[in-house]
Chains A and B, each alone.
Chain A
């Protein structure tokens, strides 16, 4: 397939996905969402006041016009004001997103790095006791609820019933030591939550790579284990590793921060989302849902185009 045609095809399908995710967000949270008329009205409103508010909320306009207005809001990032605090939603998100990234990214990277190393080790020792132990531990880890892991670590590290080294809740970070003080337990939780899944995934990638002929050749030439594992196996597994990393960023940042921040009381985008879910704060919820989905589609597109650029053999899948 020619490059131009390939890029065009990818752009069209990304556009179709964008239409889809924004349409679903609109349908669920605006069109079928609860009627917000009486939230902003005082007691005993007159019929005129009611129709005025309904006009402001756009309830009197047809479906496509309201969907168009919603798309306009997203495109200009003019997402209205939070129902509970009155803060502009775009400012709220710009304020809280850095906190979430600072909280989640280290755990995300450590979890993947450890997963790659354990997966590599396990795959190399396939069938041995080490392999079986690592795989058994991964299955056990996958059988623990995320919430259980968080509560357990909190009890063990942050309460008088455990080591009581870290704060149980909160976030007031003004430097590295404060950051480590508040972020260690959430980071550790995220690593443990993702490690079982990561190890299993990376092990299967590495096992497949180890079965290839070039590895057998390298072994036959008597290359050292470390050289084989790190130059031959790891390097050739970079594509699936990078794909997994890139695709899980939006999911881990949002889902991970949603859990960790609401549990540990950390003022990031996840806490904002949690509050929006519990209070039914529609402007915030619809902004988070639709912007995350849009971001995810754009990441997918970027990954596809980058692959094509790196390896022109990549065709339509």
Chain B
């Protein structure tokens, strides 16, 4: 339900962590994500998985001790490719999440603060326009305009995902505007933008946090579809690229790419969904899936 989140009790990071660790779901989500994050950092540092492109082994080897999920048509180790793809997933997830959270918080904050008014109307209009274009199509159009730039995917997802965050932030800012601390800030003559960014937006932190986990999940899932459509990850390797390759291979009975990529993908997404659920229960906030 698109219920507006109630104003939650002040909830510092430490008490939030304590609350999350009360439930099994919260703990498992946190452990899974941390595990994958460490994996991503290790591959980024070049400690593991960096030999994913090596073609030394023969093509289409079956699973075994040497190659856990076998090798692909070029003789590359499928498990190494799946491990290395963790880095791609986090890169896409983090970039899109940060960009759409910043954009959504800024525009949602401005809209809420200046509501009712022309600025609010214009931001709502922009949000309505972007929400009216099914987002695979919006991203396809952006990819077309950017003519194969690898950043079209990130830009397209950000353009599609900031609107959910903005909607929630706007509603919360309209509520916060009526509270005493805002009246006090106005009374001592602080300018509007300063009140928004220094005093109002920090109070929407919990909403942003919940929404960020949902955007992260959406970004990783969308990358898979876009890679299948040929407008996703262009240079490099990702679970989406592996799944796109596997869509041809499974018909020939080769399941290595499919099993490795879908297994990694499922566990990471499950981790995020568990953490997000635990967080939504703890903070009593309902996010909006993009």
Contacts and interface: CB of A to CB of B under 8 A. Distances in A.
Interface of A: 13, 16-17, 20-21, 24-25, 27-29, 32-34, 139-140, 142-148, 151-152, 154-155, 159-161, 168, 197, 201, 204-205, 208, 240, 250-251, 254-255, 258-259, 262-263, 273-274, 277-278, 280, 282, 285-286, 288-289, 292-293, 296-297, 300
Nearest to B268: A143
Contacts of B269: 142-145
A232 B221 CA distance: 37
Contacts of A24: 129-130, 133, 141
A259 B1 contact: no
Nearest to A197: B289
B225 A146 contact: yes
B142 interface: yes
A315 to B, nearest CB: 14
B145 A32 contact: yes
A20 B273 contact: no
Contacts of B277: 139
A33 B104 CA distance: 27
Contacts of B185: none
A284 to B, nearest CB: 11
Given A205-B1, A285-B140, A288-B137, A142 B251 contact: no
B contact face: mostly helix, strand, loop, or mixed:
helix
Contacts of B262: 144-145, 148, 151-152
Interface in B145-186: 145, 147
B247 A258 contact: no
B81 interface: no
A146 B269 CA distance: 12
Contacts, number: 154
Contact of B266 (A21, A143, A251, A300): A143
Nearest to B226: A277
A33 B144 contact: yes
A75 to B, nearest CB: 17
Interface residues of B, number: 51
Interface stretch (B67-75, B194-202, B205-213, B228-236): B228-236
Q: For B135, B221, B224, which residue has the most chain A Cβ atoms within 10 angstroms?
A: B221
Contact of A146 (B3, B142, B221, B270): B221
15 contacts: A17-B125, A33-B144, A34-B144, A142-B269, A143-B272, A145-B225, A145-B269, A159-B253, A201-B1, A240-B1, A251-B134, A254-B136, A277-B231, A293-B132, A300-B132
A139 B145 CA distance: 36
Contacts of A204: 1, 3, 286
Given A142-B273, A274-B229, A17 B144 contact: no
B274 interface: yes
Contacts of B79: none
Given A34-B147, A160-B253, A255-B135, 12 more contacts: A21-B129, A25-B141, A27-B145, A142-B217, A142-B273, A144-B266, A145-B265, A155-B255, A259-B228, A273-B137, A293-B137, A296-B132
A151 B246 contact: yes
Contacts of B147: 34
Contacts of A159: 250-251, 253
Interface string B266-290: 1001101110010000000010010
A29 B152 CA distance: 13
